[in-house]
Amino acid sequence: MEPASIRVLIVEDHPIVRYGLVALIDSQQDMKVVGQSGDGEEAVSMYRQVRPDVGIVDLRLPRMSGVEVIRAVRRFDRKARLVVLTTYDGDEDIHRAIASGAEGYLIKAMSHETLLGAIRKIHAGGQFIPEVIAKTLATRVSGDELTPREIEILCLIVQGKSNKDIAACSQITEGTVKCHVNVILDKLGASHRTQAAAIALQRGFVHL
């Protein structure tokens, strides 16, 4: 008797990567791909249709981010088993993914054996957080969490906007912007705006 297949949904916007994942998973006797999508919104709809055992989700997707996909799926299926597969390894990226309901977090540079092991473990009801990911997450200080408004302003700082520009974009006064910037610098441990922008990109608060 053949072992029961683990039904996998792949959500990845790069076709070559997606096709490679399909070939890898379909080559396993205990797994099969039941759906694939390169778009966040489509992925949520497809999940409803195919109800996979495990979903593999990239973080950066058209129309909806991977974190938004995970949150949307978990709203109608609290038992969803989802693993993030991405190039982003910042502590904020990892925190957001796990907080949204992901059961695992993998970096694309990791081996295919690691991915297959993660799928099997997550399907069995476990979590899969590699040691390097756990160490990165452990460096995150809970007190430095940014508010949605602070993240919005940080995004504009990364874009090179001045306080005047930020005030116009956010429809607040320059004085309020300065207060927000000071708080952001303090939370990130940055001494100036350029350093704050670099930290934001490195840790995953903002992506270009």
- Lowest average pLDDT, out of 26-30, 52-56, 151-155, goes to 151-155
pLDDT of 38 reads 95
**Above 90 in pLDDT, residue 19?**
yes
Q: How confident is the model at residue 147 (pLDDT cuts 50, 70, 90)?
A: confident
Residue range 32-48, pLDDT digits in tens: 999 999 999 999 999 99
Distance CA 34, CA 53 (A): 10
pLDDT of 143 reads 59
Q: Which CATH superfamily is domain 6-138 in?
A: Response regulator (3.40.50.2300)
Q: How confident is the model at residue 1 (pLDDT cuts 50, 70, 90)?
A: very low
**Above 80 in pLDDT, residue 197?**
yes
Q: Across residues 123-147, what is the average pLDDT?
A: 82
Give the global pTM: 0.77
**Which residues neighbour 114 within 8 Å (Cβ) at sequence distance 6 or greater?**
106, 130
Q: Please identify which residue in the block is written with the tokens 């070939």.
A: 23
Distance CA 104, CA 110 (A): 13
Q: Across residues 109-138, what is the average pLDDT?
A: 92
- Chain CA centroid to CA 93, Å: 5
Q: Across residues 61-76, what is the average pLDDT?
A: 95
Q: Across residues 144-159, what is the average pLDDT?
A: 86
How do the domains of the chain map onto residue ranges?
Answer: 6-138, 143-203
CATH dotted code for 143-203: 1.10.10.10
Q: Are 52 and 140 in contact (CB under 8 A)?
A: no
